[in-house]
Amino acid sequence: MPVSDCWDINYTLKRISHIDGVLSYDGNTGTAPAAGDWVVGGTTGVVGKILTGSDLGGTNATGTLTLTETTGRFQDNETLRVLSSVNFDTVANGGFKVGDTITGPTTESIDVQAIEYNWDTSLPGEGYIWGNNLTTGFANNEQLDVSGGATAVALVHTAAETDNSALFATCLVNGEMAVAEATNNTNQSVIIGFDAGSAAIVAPERCRVSDATTGAFGTAQQVLGDTTEGTYRLVDYDSQSGAFSDGNTLQFEDVVNYDAQVAGQVFNVGDVVVGATSGATGRVLAVIDDGDSTGRLVLGNKSGTFDAVTPDDLQVGGTKVAEVENTTFTLTIGTINLPNGIRTEQLSEYGGMLERTESLNIVRDVSQLYSYAQDTFDELAQLDDDPPFLGVFKDNVYTLQNNWFMPLGSFRFLEKGSIQSAAGDLVVRGFDSIFTGKDIAANGYFQDAGNPTPMPHAYVVQNGAKIAPWFIEGPFRVMLPIKTRNLPEYID
């Protein structure tokens, strides 16, 4: 279940964080940081918050860190340092932001590189500044000012300061950040193209597609083009058997051919189809109706194998609609078109953070996170924990309840829906670009030295400022905070 590789559920803190990836390091001659600390790349300035690691608090020369809230792509062999922190509360006078230098009443100062504010729902109004160049001496209730800017923007809170500058001595980043995956090569996001299309329908999003020769498969997260040619952004890309290969046949997986359709009964997109004999299930993503009581269903979230021998009655809500016709469970889409290979790189200027030869940033529907959370909290071991979401699955509208929290950076990896807090002080909504990419051909995303940015890019402007993109060029779908209490520069 690749979606589970991408999300961390902290039951103690009641916090759901995206797992951005796994960063390797070497050359350490000091002490490794702890879970919850932040690290920074000395060349790129990229920061990330540590969820877990292979040697937390240890002194091994090498190790790995699993990160969240990552701001970009770490560079191989850049120095890796641990940020220090200052505890604060009582934000006022316009607050402060990343990039500011915060000073105390005498010589104390810290350069702000990350902020945790109102992350602990049981401690409203409190937070931590994480930064470099800490000059120590911050004490409880001291006034905090922005160097060269506003004064009295906050007060130092009880915990005061933590100097982490001595940690990770001589430590270097070892390679670029890798995808977090329980099984290698099963949880990547890539872009493929096709032409010579023969299917009667445009691929529905969330359908599974495969290379008929190599067995590589993935789930279509975003579909651009038409029935003759197009481009798919895939998630859950599984290349254990082999990679998508130029010139091979691209096909739909999880297809059910049906016949003997009952008069007056029809299949509709969204129906949950159940095999009466096999017990196999799937949600209808598309219907190809041949008009003679036969046709094909393209299914999502399929479980089990439909019986074509008995054959299975295909039921919706307990009512028979048709029967399984044969044992063909795939349907040809067209010919895989990869003029420059599979697109794995998300450019750094468009927020790419994972290893360039491995994966794009992995973005899924909000409904997938909701379904994963519901499945997790239905398990016996979690029945004593309060569930985090209340949702209207059909409309992709979800509410964080029971004091659960999601950091803003985690919403970068979601699309197509909205999430709000029960108190109404957090509202994050999905937006699509006006440019739909309908006419994008089979190789619209493929880049080379002469065409490094093959797709036009639309920018997002919020509050009069252009947002640094974390989404790949071309037609985008993003989640944007409409209201938040987690940025001290915005005080409601």
pLDDT per residue as tens digits for the range 232-277: 999 999 988 789 999 999 999 999 999 999 999 999 999 999 999 9
φ and ψ of 350, to 5 deg: -115, 30
pTM, full prediction: 0.94
pLDDT digits (tens, 9 = 90+) for 67-120: 999 999 999 999 999 999 999 999 999 999 999 999 999 999 999 999 999 998
Residue 428 in this model has a pLDDT that exceeds 70 = yes
Q: Residue 466: pLDDT band by 50, 70, 90 thresholds?
A: confident
Residue 188 in this model has a pLDDT that exceeds 60 = yes
Residue 1 in this model has a pLDDT that exceeds 60 = no
Per-residue pLDDT, 391: 85
Q: What pairs with residue 161 in β-bridges?
A: 86
Beta strand pairing status for 272-275 and 230-238? unpaired
pLDDT digits (tens, 9 = 90+) for 45-66: 999 999 999 999 999 999 999 9
**% residues pLDDT > 90 (the chain):** 79
Q: Residue 462: pLDDT band by 50, 70, 90 thresholds?
A: confident
Q: Residue 147: pLDDT band by 50, 70, 90 thresholds?
A: very high
Q: Residue 492: pLDDT band by 50, 70, 90 thresholds?
A: very low
Backbone dihedral region for residue 242 (phi beyond 0: left; psi -120 to 50: alpha; all else: beta): left
Average pLDDT score over residue span 156-179: 94
The mean pLDDT value of the chain amounts to: 93
Q: Are 8 and 17 in contact (CB under 8 A)?
A: yes
Return the structure tokens found at 218.
């993935």
Return the structure tokens found at 85.
């922190």
